[in-house]
Structure 1
Amino acid sequence: MFEPAWLAGLFASAFLSATLLPGNSEAALLAYLHFNAQGVLPALLVVTVGNTLGGLLTVWMGRRLPKAPQGRAVAWAQRIGPVSLLLTWLPIVGDVLCAVAGWLRWPWRQVVLWMLLGKAARYLLLAFAANSIGA
């Protein structure tokens, strides 16, 4: 398959996976790496950026809500701070953390930094594991 089309599909899957919409960026990444083992770096870059931007959309939507709900997730996030966004790659929990970051109006720079690091680490580990298993 033509590589730009694969990368566009990876981006779309990663973006959707970070929202409440369905998308399976891990499967898309593994499929891409299966057919294009030399394209690890562009693939990691595309899925990380796409997934981070999808998470930032959820943060932005959280900022639009009038009042932050109180609950265990909000209390935990307040106690830990923006570093908790390292866990935004987790299913369901990650979406909640993104929304909480928006509700709490955390600074964008910190949100982007911690979210990007967490998501990049997840995809890097996945690519490493796929390479180790396939070798």
Structure 2
Amino acid sequence: MIAYLSLFASSFLAATILPFYSEVLLYALLQTGEPAWLLIVVASIGNTLGAVVNWYLGRYLLHFKDRRWFYFKDEQIERMQYWFQRYGIWSLLLAWMPMGGDVLTLIAGIMKVRLGIFLTLVAIGKTARYIAVLYFAQITHGWFV
């Protein structure tokens, strides 16, 4: 049970704006004999819920744009919004990417993408990434789960 909670926590944190990696733990747990499908489900749920944190942050982020401590400049926000409008909600399938994926989920919140659509697209992309980790683990070790 601790292994699954650790995987959930690391997957959750990896999807937030904090620098964290869950693939290493998933790879290690795949070698312990735990059911691969269950590990992928736990990692995918944790990672998707972590992305929801970014979505909520984005939803309410612009309320603070007039504060001195606000991180983003108006030009940066406009550029992010333009990029998201250009590529659309389908870009959320790329929310799994290590560079830019977290920002993409934050922008989706700023752009007020409906949560149901957000969850569906992000979950598909993030689950596909964990399935890819499983696939490469199988290839490198020559075992199939």
| Structure 2 residue 119 is the aligned partner of structure 1 residue 122 | no
Which of the pair is proportionally richer in helix?
1
Matched residue, 1:99: 106
Q: Which runs of 4+ in 1 moved over 2 A?
A: none
% of aligned pairs identical?
35
Q: Does 1:14 align with 2:11?
A: yes
Quick check: which has more Rg, 1 or 2? 2
The AA in structure 2 aligned to 1:10 is: L
- Corresponding residue for residue 80 of structure 1: 87
Moved more, 74-83 or 100-109: 74-83
**Residue 32 (structure 2) aligned to one of 14, 32, 35:** 35
Cα separation, 1, equivalents of 2:121 and 2:78: 23
Post-superposition offset of 1:104: 0.3
User: RMSD of aligned C-alpha atoms?
Assistant: 1.4
- Give the match's secondary structure for 1:105: coil
Aligned-partner Cα distance in 2 for 1:26–1:130: 11
- Per the normalisation by structure 1, the TM-score is 0.91
Aligned length: 130
Instruction: Report deviation, 1:39.
Output: 1.1
Secondary structure in 2 matching 1:114: helix
**1:74, distance to aligned residue in structure 2 (A):** 2.3
- TM-score under structure 2 normalisation? 0.85
Residue 44 of structure 1 aligns to which amino acid in structure 2? I
Q: Give the aligned partner of residue 2 of structure 2.
A: 5
Q: Unpaired segments of 5 or more residues in structure 1?
A: none
Q: Deviations over 1:1-55 (max 9, x none)?
A: xxx110100000000000122321000100100112x410110000000000000
